[in-house]
A and B are shown apart, each in its own frame.
Chain A
Amino acid sequence: MTLTRSWSRLTPAGKIVVPLLAIVVALTVALLLGMVTGIVPAITGAVLDTLEANVGIVRFVVAILAVLLFTIPTAFIVGYLELKAIAFMNLRLGPNRVGPWGTLAAAFHGFKILAKEDFTPTGADVPVFTLAPAVVFLAPVLAFLVLPFAPGLFGQDMNIALLYFFAMGGLGVVGLMMAGWSSFNKYSLLGALRAAAQIISYEIPLTLSVVGLILLAGTLSLNQIVLNQQGSFLDWYVWQQPLGFAIFFIAATAEGNRTPFDLTEADSEIVAGFATEYSGMRFGFFYFAEYVNVFLLSALTVVLYFGGWLAPIDIGAVLHQVGLTFDPALDPGSLGLGLLLGILIVPPLAIVALALPFWAFRSGLPFWKALVVGFLLFNVIAAGATLLWAVASFEVVEGLLWFMAKTYVFVAILVWMRATLPRVRIDQLMGFAWKWLLPAALVNLFVTALALIVIDAVKG
């Protein structure tokens, strides 16, 4: 009785999520039972063999899951960055209550959105209204699949990766239009129409600006484009395609509906555009999609024009020049019993050693508090040392670190632009795309092709 009543109170989304949760719980219980009775260890070998035989399928599923999970921390980090960085630029404090320096604010925003009422307006086209946020979120997630994060760390290395990326990026506008139409609200519809006009207009200079780079690279594979830029930072495509880069970045900002081109959700004109009637987690999906999009566009800029995961200079060679040689080939196994001793003895000693100065020089600080400080410091140092060791030993970690650092520079630039630039008018927006960006992209393409022919003629 109570069960039927609570079931009927669930939102449509809840009616999907609750059975899924039940399945997850049942699977966990089954797994635990299997572990206890010894069935799971017995069949592990056969399962592993099956997975190994179908490594292509396994890789695909794992890549999709990884990409989907990766979007969550990304959205939270970019969201927090935006809150805090804009606050600093506005001479405010920004989030400072939850977690150290308010770092958990974005995560708690997420929980708040989950707990809010999931409201559907009267007159809305319910199936379309429900599907729209999913479509908007799906587009950047699918585009993530071809992004090369580090050497060997990508979902799929397609030879049409760039085309696929733009195709998936263009899907988002369908979701925006679905949201705007199904809301049964004139502001939503206006936002959707603006989104469609803007994204279609800016897709043309965006795609054309990259064609010059494709002429230089001779490939559409993002992985290969990164590999082509090997060398120092002078080999990055941004120096050969400065105009292309400028057009690309401006058009990408417009594609991602970011200030100064965020007319689709201009709150001073059309409330919140396509998202006006959305609340709860459905709105949360729009929020998520926007931040994932910011990361995605920055990442694509880095991959195309700033060498992706490549380091700006070959650090190993520079260290070698200076005379420092760092041999990262430290094998933990070679230490033998000493390793065990080190793990047992070094941390307590280091904690006490780090705590002592605080206790000695800060009068009135109890020793246990000094110990806590020492423990935190030791953790930071140990994590830093491990990271340094990983960077030096594994190419993937180093590449990922460089890629993330470069990407977050561009995320920061996008946030900075949002804090500084005023919103443009709709006619300025369209005029700029068609009268300035498109001819500039064509000029870029023409000059690149001409330069290639001239260089070929001179060389050959």
Chain B
Amino acid sequence: MTLPQTVPFLGWSWNDLLFLVLATALLGTALMVVLGRNIIRSGLWMIACFATLAGVYALLGTPLVAAAQVLVYIGAISVLILFAIMLTQTKGGPAALVFHHQAWAAAIAAVVLGTLLALVVTSTEWPLAGEYAATSVRAIAQLLFSDYVLPFEIVGVLLLAAVIGGVFLAKRDEPRDEPHGERPE
């Protein structure tokens, strides 16, 4: 006896059900990110949100993108954000977010963004959801290093410029008065 091809009583395919569960979790965690008052908790919810998004990618047949999502967004970016928050925040400080008092500006921004998204969604010609076809790593690599090699390189240069800019901004202009590590000869 195999499992039924569709969800019993509902008639959906299992992938649709899984997508629905993941999408609900995704939206729920995303709401938790913006609705919570504790900024560290918000960061942790963001990690959960990224993890569910990786699940959606895996469901769509792109395990490579899912793994990259976990590796880059959870393992590096979120951790760096948490790192920055932990370095700058104290528990004795205000628990509420600083941007909490700008409700009017936020409302305007939300309305503008909502209109923009609605325009984009209605004007785009959506392709029908076809089969959940798996994309092989080899195919992605072929495309990335043949047809899209120029954008790929440009992104690389852009990131390098960002790194150099970051180092330049973070660097002190003058050497410290009392260097701890090495003594000036």
Q: CB within 8 Å of B: which residues of A?
A: 46, 49-50, 53-54, 123, 125, 128, 158-160, 163-164, 166-168, 170-171, 173-174, 177-178, 180-181, 184, 189, 192-193, 196-197, 199-200, 203, 220, 427
Contacts and interface: CB of A to CB of B under 8 A. Distances in A.
B83 A159 contact: no
Contact of B86 (A164, A167, A181, A184): A181
B74 A174 contact: yes
B67 A159 contact: no
A200 B64 contact: no
Contacts of A168: 70
Given A164-B63, A170-B76, 5 more contacts: A128-B40, A177-B86, A196-B82, A197-B83, A200-B83
A159 B61 CA distance: 13
A123 B92 CA distance: 11
B137 to A, nearest CB: 6
A133 to B, nearest CB: 15
B63 A54 contact: no
Nearest to A199: B79
Given A53-B1, A128-B44, A193 B86 contact: yes
Contact of B76 (A184, A200, A220): A200
Contact of A167 (B47, B67, B87, B181): B67
Nearest to B1: A50
Nearest to A165: B67
The 9 closest A-B pairs by CB, nearest first: A170-B75, A167-B70, A167-B71, A53-B2, A163-B67, A196-B83, A50-B1, A167-B67, A164-B67
B37 interface: no
A174 B87 CA distance: 15
Interface residues of B, number: 28
B71 A163 contact: yes
A193 B83 contact: yes
A171 B75 contact: yes
Interface string B98-142: 000000000000000000000000000000000000001100000
Nearest to B78: A174
A173 B81 CA distance: 13
B137 A174 contact: no
Contact of B70 (A170, A180, A200): A170
A173 B79 contact: yes
A401 B119 CA distance: 62
20 contacts: A50-B2, A53-B1, A123-B91, A158-B63, A159-B136, A160-B64, A163-B64, A167-B70, A168-B70, A170-B75, A170-B79, A171-B75, A173-B79, A174-B79, A177-B86, A180-B86, A189-B86, A197-B83, A200-B76, A427-B181
B140 to A, nearest CB: 10
B113 to A, nearest CB: 29
Contacts of A54: 2-3
Contacts of B78: 174
Contacts of A184: 91
A158 B67 CA distance: 11
A369 to B, nearest CB: 59
A189 B82 CA distance: 12
A168 B54 CA distance: 12
Contacts of B91: 123, 184
A228 B76 CA distance: 31
B80 interface: yes
